[in-house]
Structure 1
Amino acid sequence: MKFVVSSSDLLSHLQAISRAIASKSQYPILDYFLFDVNKDTSLNITASDLEVTMITRMVADSSDGDGVIAMPSKMLLEILKKLPEQPLTFDVNMETLAVDILSEKGKYNFVGQPGAEYPEIPKVEEDKASRLQIPASLLMTGITKTLFATADDELRPVMNGVLFEFSPENLTFVASDSHKLVRYRRLDAKAEFEASFILPKKPAGLLKNILPRESGDVMVEFDHKNAIFNLPNYKMVCRLVEGNYPSYTAVIPQDNPNKSVIDRVDLANTLGRVSIFSNQASNLVKLHMSTDEMVVSAQDIDFSVSAFEKLTCQYDGTEMEIGFKSAFLADILDNISSDDIILEMSDPSRAAIILPFEKKENEDEFMLLMPMMINA
C-alpha cells in the first residue's frame, strides 16, 4: 500500500486529533494513530484514549492500494513538525507492517502495529439515539461561554462537564463548579424533543479546538452513554458523564433589588491591579457599592499591603459591600460578551447575578457568582 500526502496538511490534521491521546495510555496501541487508507484517496485517521475518540478525514494526493495500520503518534508528529511543506510518500508493507516515509531529501522507516488491534469505536444505540443538527459557530460559542466554569471534582463527576439541554424552545448550555454558574441559552436552536446530556471537559475542549476549522452544521447523535459529533472533516465519539446534573435553577436568587451597571473592561482592569494586594490564600476582593460609585479594595494583613480603586457606575439600591474571590470574578468578566455589565444583588451573603447590558438577538447569557464572607 502506498499513498502521497502534503506534510503540512497531514500535520494540521494530526495535531487536531492528537489531544485525544492520553499522556499515559493503559494500552500501548493507544499511543498510535490508526490510518485507514482507501483506493479513492480518502484517508481516515483515528486517535483515542477509549473515553474520547477523534477521527479526521482528509484526501491524499494519490493512493495505491488500501489497508489499515497503526503508526506511532509521537514519532510522526516530531518528524512532521520539523519538515518544510512538501509531498510525503508513505510506502507500507502490509505483511511486515514496515513503513517507509519518503521526503524530498530523505527517508524514515519504522514498524507499525496491526490495525485490527486498535479498540473498536463506540456507537450509539439506534433505537435509543436522538439526533439534531447544530451550526458549528453556535456550538463553538456555547462551549466557549461555559467550559471555563466546569469543575474538577472527583466526588461529583457530573459537575466536570457542560450540560446540554435540548427543548422545542431553545438549546441551553450550563456549567458550574459550585462557586460560579454559567447558563448560555440560544433561542434560534431548537429540537423536536426534550433531552439532555453532560459532555465531559476533555471532549468539550477538543470540540472547542476543532470547531474554528469547520463551518456549516454539526450532526449530533447521542444516547444515554455516548455522543457523536459529526463535522465535515472531523468526527468525535465520546463517553458521556453518567448521572443527573444538579437542579441549578434552585440556587438562582429571584429577588435582587440592588443593581449596578458598570464598564466591564474598566472593572476587569481594576480587579487585575487591586487583586495583587489580596491575601494569597483567600484571594478576596471587596466591592463597595454606593450611589454612582463602586470601590474595589483588597488587603493582606499578614504583609501589611492594601489597595483600592474607585469606579464610576450606575447604582440603584441600598449601600452595601460584597466580597468575591477575584480569580472567579475575573473569569466571568473575561467570558461575558458586553461592553457594560449588570451586577444584581440581594445581600452580601447571597449569590450575585452578572448579565450583559447589551443583549444580542436570540441569546440569553446568565452568570452567577457566590460571594465570600468579608469578615471570615
Structure 2
Amino acid sequence: MKFITSSNDLLKELKALFNVINLNNKLPILETFYLKIKKKNILNITVSDLEITMTTKLRINSINYGSAAIPYKILIDILKNIPEQPLTFIKEIDNKLKIIYQNGEYNISIYSSEEYPKYSILENTNSILISEKQLLNIINNTLFAVGNDDIRPVINGVLFEINSKMSNFVSTNTTILVKYTRKDILSNNKIKFIISKKTLNILKNNLENSDEYVYISYNKLNTSFLFKKKKIICSLINGIYPNYLSIINNFYNKILIINRNYFINSIKRVTYFSKIITQIILNLSKNQSKISSWDYNNKAFEYLFCSYEGDPIKIGFNSKFLIDILSNINCDDIKFEILDNKSSCKLTPNLSISNIEEILILIMPIKDKD
C-alpha cells in the first residue's frame, strides 16, 4: 500500500473517528485505525469497539492498493506535530510503515491488517430517511436524560418509536423522563429500537445542521447510519423499554410559569455555595415565590419573578438535573405543572415549539433535606 495525502485532511478525519475507540479494551488491534485502499484515490478509514464500527472516506493520491492497521496514538501524535504538508505512506514487509514528510521520515511498527475484525452487511433490514437536522434535534432533545444503569441497560439509550402518525423519542435516567415527539418523521412500518448513548454522542459530533438525508437501516440486532462520506454500524440495546406513557400524569393542580434563562441563572446564583448538596427548594405561592439552597455553612435565597397558580407548596429538586432540563429546552418561558411534592412534575414550553414537534419532560422531586 502506498498513497499521498494532506496531513491536516487526514488528522481531521481521524479526530472524527477517535471517540469510537474504547481505550480500555483488551484487544490491541482495536486500538488502531484500519486504513484500506480498494478504489483508486479513495482511502477508507475504519475504527471499531466491536459494538460500534465507523468508516469514513478520504480522497488521496493512491499509488498502490492495500491495507494497514496503525496504532491510533502514534498516528495522531505524528500528525499533530507536523505542519500542513503532503505525507507519503508506504507499507513495507514485516508490518512496518514508513511515513515520509518534507525533511524526514518515520518508520513505525503496525499490526497485521488481517487481524482487524470484519463487519458483515446488515441483512433482513428495513430503512427510513431522516435529515441530519432532524436527527440532530432528536439527539439534542433526549441525550441529556439518558441513564447509566448496569442493572437496567435499556435506559442507557434513546428509544426510537416511529409509526404512520407520529414518532416519539424517549430517554430516562429514572429521575428525568423526556418524550420528544415529531409529526414529520413517519413510517408505514412500526419502528421500535434503542440506540446507545455512545452511538448518539458519536452521531452528534459528526452530524451537521443540514437538510441532507441520513439513510438509516435496521434489523432486530443492529442499525446503520449512512450520511455524506461516513457510515456508522452499531449494536442495538436489547430489551423492553419501560412503558413511559403509563407514568405521564394528565392531572396537575399547580402551575408555575417562568422565563427559562432567568430561572437557570437564579438556580446558579443560589447554588453557588452548594457544591456537595445539589438541591434547591422552591417555596411557591400566589403572593410570593422563593428559591433557596444551602451548604453546610452557607445559605442563599432569592425571590422569583414568575406566575404561579394553585395552593402554596414547598418542593425540592436536584439542581443539576433541573439545569440540564432547562438548558435543553428551546423556548422563552417554561410551564411547570405540579401535583404535590412527591409526584413527578411536568415541564413543557409555555408556548408550543412548532406544529411539527413537541417536548414533554417529567422530573421527580427530592425530599427536603433542610
Under a length normalisation based on structure 2, what TM-score does the superposition of the two structures give? 0.95
Partner amino acid, structure 2, of 1:287:
L
In structure 2, the partner of 1:289 is 284
Contact 2:11 2:76 in 1 (8 A): yes
* AA of the residue aligned to 1:112: I
Are 2:341 and 1:343 equivalent residues in the alignment? Answer: no
Counterpart of 1:320?
313
Partner of 2:74: 75
Change (3 A) 1:184 1:292: farther
Counterpart position of 1:6: 6
Partner residue, 1:172: 168
Q: Output aligned runs, 1:181-196, within 5 Å.
A: 181-196=177-192
Deviation at 1:170, TM superposition (A): 2.1
Q: Could you tell me how far 1:358 is from its partner in structure 2?
A: 3.4
1:113 Cα deviation from its structure 2 partner: 2.0
Counterparts of 2:285 and 2:58, CA distance in 1: 59
Q: Residues 10-29 of structure 1 correspond to what in structure 2 (within 5 A)?
A: 10-29=10-29
Q: Closer, same or farther in 2 for the Cα pair 1:261/1:214, shift >3 Å?
A: closer
Cα shift at 1:5: 1.0
Q: Deviations over 1:255-310 (max 9, x none)?
A: 012112111111101101112344824x221112222643111234x42x221111
The verdict on how the C-alpha distance between 1:325 and 1:144 changes in structure 2, with shifts beyond 3 A counting, is same
Distance 2:223 2:188 in 1: 18
Q: Greater CA deviation, 103-112 or 4-13?
A: 103-112
**Does structure 1 retain, via aligned residues, the 8 Å contact 2:176–2:364?**
yes
2:225 is the alignment partner of 1:226: no
d(CA) in 2 for partners of 1:331 and 1:35? 39
1:298 aligns with 2:297: no
CA distance in 2, matches of 1:153, 1:216: 34
Task: State the distance in 2 between where 1:167 and 1:133 align.
Answer: 13
Aligned to 2:263: 267
User: 8 Å contact 1:354–1:367 — kept in the other structure?
Assistant: yes
Is 1:330 aligned with 2:300? no
Q: Is the 8 A contact 1:169 1:190 kept in 2?
A: yes
**What fraction of aligned residue pairs are identical, expressed as a percent?**
36
Q: Which amino acid aligns with 2:363?
A: L
Q: TM-score, normalised by structure 1?
A: 0.94
Tell me, in whole angstroms, the C-alpha distance in 2 between the residues paired with 1:175 and 1:84: 43
Aligned partners of 1:256 and 1:345 also within 8 Å: yes
Q: 2:116 aligns with which of 115, 118, 126?
A: 118
What SS does structure 1 have at the residue aligned with 2:164? coil
Tell me what 2:34 maps to: 34
Secondary structure of the residue aligned to 1:286 is strand
Structure 1 residue 88, shift from structure 2 partner? 1.1
Q: CA deviation at 1:212?
A: 2.6
- CA offsets, 1:109-145, max 9 Å, x none? 113222221111154322xx22111101110111111
In structure 2, what is the equivalent of residue 84 of structure 1? 83
Q: 1:350 to 1:39 in 2, by over 3 A?
A: closer
Amino acid at match of 1:204: L
Task: Write the letter of the residue equivalent to 1:104.
Answer: Q
Deviation at 1:357, TM superposition (A): 2.1
- 1:357 maps to a residue whose letter is N
- The aligned amino acid for 1:288 is N
Q: 2:129 aligns with which of 130, 133, 137?
A: 133
- The letter of the residue matching 2:258 is I
Alpha-carbon distance in structure 1 between the residues aligned to 2:72 and 2:317: 44
Which residue of structure 1 aligns with residue 240 of structure 2?
244
Residue 215 to residue 54, structure 1, CA distance change in 2 (3 Å): farther
Contact 2:54 2:233 in 1 (8 A): yes
1:39, distance to aligned residue in structure 2 (A): 4.4
The unaligned stretches of length 5 or more in structure 1 are none
User: CA, structure 1 residues 122+156, in 2 after alignment: closer, same or farther (shift >3 Å)?
Assistant: farther
Distance 2:99 2:287 in 1: 68
Letter of the 1:43 counterpart: L
Q: How many residue pairs align between the two structures? A: 369
Amino acid at match of 2:8: S
Partner deviation per Cα, 1:8-64 (whole Å, 9 max, x = no partner):
11111111111111112221111111111134211110001101111111211x111
> How far apart are the structure 2 equivalents of 1:347 and 1:338?
25
The RMSD of aligned alpha carbons is 1.7
Is residue 91–residue 100 contact of structure 1 (8 Å, CA) maintained in 2? yes
The one-letter code of the counterpart of 1:359 is S
For each residue in 1:205-240, what CA deviation from the matched residue of structure 2 results, as whole angstroms up to 9, or x when unmatched? 111111138761111111111111111121111111
